[in-house]
Structure 1
């Protein structure tokens, strides 16, 4: 006979008794993590939301991707650019954790840290606050070179490439899936053995891509130097995460890289990244159970942007797109490429919500719309003059959809000084409420500028 559920007298409500047949045993759910994810094609302003939440976090985590991601954080008028490091590391009291789902180019990691360290005080003592999972895979220089060659081949063979960042992300995730990759634990365990495996992998890539130049001795020397430097930072990631979840109460923040529509499974394939940047990637990329996922915040730009190629139903290849690009300074942090711009696509965001289950929305860059007399919002996709009830998986189908828009009045006034919802013009308030009602998800934050202070919190 199964026992009934009993609540313990522990002051932490996450700890209690659970019913099991024949006995009552402890179940410790432990601390729950707060997750910040992009709800479009990236570049939504996740770094700013993470920076806001990280100010009182005990731990900030990256769970997937590599230095193909780019988060910008502005603190005391200093602009920091993060690619591999969790941007929450800017909080001097927080531990930063790079999980097993992340792929790491070690020289790039140190270059990024040192560059940001020179900008200001934000990264002081970062080496003592960074923890790296021993199961994370390593990006080698030849992965980056191969990435570039593959893009060139796609262009020559099919007339178009994928628009990758050429940071080696696809090749290293491919090696991971093919079980030929090398991990941080391999580097630290036995460098001679690691060197032999590295040489074998380099030979394999050289046989497939003869034009790629691989400096085996030079890269091994760099890796040996990096090995000594990262050794104090490396932990068994699963054990580290378990301790964090089941130790004293902690505020743990997970910052997703890339975004829902770039997810390898759910994004606009094949124009996607190579990792799971939806909520499932949090569990597999950190080594934690799903019951420890708490709030899931989706970051939504007040319009839509996309870097590179691929279907973009609400794109505005006109003066509206140019205005959004110019006012929004829409240039990729990692690539330096101009972002394509268009109206807010709520079909796309609702699809992202179906996958991630957002508990609240952070709406960013509302101020970029300040000068528009009217604003359109994509609400339905029509295919062959019929509405379709889902977001298409096939790129060719997505290219063919016609967007049905709702048109809302603009507000033609500056919102950048607003610090409360009531400070926004009436039509700006209506725009926010329209998005909230259409998605069925509350808007918790509204961004009206680049700085920390330019974020309105509604609840």
Structure 2
């Protein structure tokens, strides 16, 4: 029996993690975010009602389940409180269910200004960030000058730290990026003091609480944001996010020992998408790509940006399987492939005339990779809303088996629609 499972994206994000976390939370005692910030977007659909989450874990809608934001998450207090209020207005008792680590770095307005300035300065070479200030906030964390949630407890110390931080960033904005806007210490301090009234009662020792649940044989879901191929170390650098998105980050981002994890579920879209710049060998620019985008509703939860679309890439997915030690796959949006005459799957790359079995780490090499495809038959019978594996179209089952055989990892869950219960459970992951 699995008690502690990691659920993360195995591609470039937007794989449908939120839906699966929400679905599995019925069997959990706690759900934890362990990295990223409000640049993540998880969409839940329950009986037709859409809930869009950015910072708050996707288990928040379940009564009797604790939701935690771990120390590996950078937190915009403005965004968090706005998200909390949206849920509270709908009757969700967020203040009772949600707890936050005091070690979380705070995303400040000056971080957003820096993010925007950098993207503008890069021009055609821009990364494609969400411009939410995530990268600059992580930089301050690594430079050991971050303002953290726990600093809200100590106003005098907070103000001193703010002055040092804002002096630095105001100088950079003015003298490097030629931006006149300056951020006032007193105004920023006052805003943080106002946020503190809501946030301080929610602070807890997340690591201690999680380990108490573990010792009591409770069940915990660790919810990843973004996707493996956007990992700061293992993704298409520099076109990546600013955090480690892989399973190993659970330990550092939530204070939970790696040997206590029982399973890692890789949420995998039946095709691929990505937002922003960077290598993408299987990207499509034809009618099939348009079909995937329209039928799959491929627009970003946070920014609304149109996602790039392409065929499933098993080369990149194999990397994700290995660096995350993924034990099973949840295949999402299989129904988006309904109606296609044929389906292509990338099984290798060709780079400079040579066959490549792993993605290059250098983006400049990656963009030169050409996909080597295996072509499979499509299916006309709808897989949408199917709950029984045996009743899937024969060709759809062949597609699933092809993926399993290549990756040597089982597909335990298949999502056949956006609703919470539109799934085929091949094997219980808990």
**Same fold, TM-score > 0.5, yes or no:** yes
TM-score, normalised to structure 2, is 0.96
Q: State how far apart, in whole Å, the 1-side matches of 2:172 and 2:357 are.
A: 43
Counterpart for residue 173 of structure 1: 138
Correspondent of 2:72 among 101, 106, 113? 101
Is residue 273 of structure 2 the alignment partner of residue 305 of structure 1?
yes
Counterpart for residue 41 of structure 2: 70
Correspondent of 1:433 among 373, 395, 401? 401
Is residue 283 of structure 2 the alignment partner of residue 315 of structure 1?
yes
* Structure 1 unmatched runs, 5+: 1-12, 14-30
Does the 8 A contact of 2:316 with 2:358 survive in 1? no
Q: State how far apart, in whole Å, the 2-side matches of 1:438 and 1:36 are.
A: 21
Counterpart for residue 10 of structure 2: 39
Is residue 354 of structure 2 the alignment partner of residue 389 of structure 1?
no
Counterpart for residue 189 of structure 2: 220
Does the 8 A contact of 1:107 with 1:222 survive in 2? no
Measure how far apart 1:352 and its partner are: 0.3
Alignment of 1:1-400 (within 5 A): 32-118=3-89, 120-121=90-91, 124-155=92-123, 159-188=124-153, 190-210=154-174, 211=179, 212-246=181-215, 248-400=216-368
Measure how far apart 1:90 and its partner are: 1.2
Measure how far apart 1:356 and its partner are: 0.5
Does the 8 A contact of 1:135 with 1:237 survive in 2? no
Measure how far apart 1:195 and its partner are: 1.2
Counterpart for residue 3 of structure 1: none
* Structure 2 unmatched runs, 5+: none
Q: State how far apart, in whole Å, the 1-side matches of 2:266 and 2:61 are.
A: 21
TM-score, normalised to structure 1, is 0.90
Measure how far apart 1:244 and its partner are: 2.5
2:112 partner SS: helix
2:263 partner SS: strand
Does the 8 A contact of 2:350 with 2:370 survive in 1? yes
Does the 8 A contact of 1:45 with 1:301 survive in 2? yes
Q: State how far apart, in whole Å, the 1-side matches of 2:334 and 2:21 are.
A: 18
Does the 8 A contact of 1:103 with 1:139 survive in 2? yes
Q: State how far apart, in whole Å, the 2-side matches of 1:386 and 1:117 are.
A: 56
Which string of whole-angstrom CA distances, capped at 9 and with x for unpartnered residues, describes residues 397-428 of structure 1? Answer: 11111111000000012211311101111111
Measure how far apart 1:32 and its partner are: 4.5
Correspondent of 1:415 among 383, 394, 413? 383
CA change 1:115–1:215 in 2 (3 A) is farther
Q: State how far apart, in whole Å, the 2-side matches of 1:241 and 1:34 are.
A: 13
Which string of whole-angstrom CA distances, capped at 9 and with x for unpartnered residues, describes residues 50-73 of structure 1? Answer: 011112211000000000000001
Which string of whole-angstrom CA distances, capped at 9 and with x for unpartnered residues, describes residues 428-448 of structure 1? Answer: 111111111111100011111
Does the 8 A contact of 1:64 with 1:277 survive in 2? yes
Pairwise CA RMSD of aligned residues? Answer: 1.3
Q: State how far apart, in whole Å, the 2-side matches of 1:342 and 1:389 are.
A: 19
Does the 8 A contact of 2:152 with 2:200 survive in 1? no
**Greater Rg over alpha carbons, structure:** 1
Q: State how far apart, in whole Å, the 1-side matches of 2:385 and 2:167 are.
A: 58
Is residue 418 of structure 2 the alignment partner of residue 454 of structure 1?
no
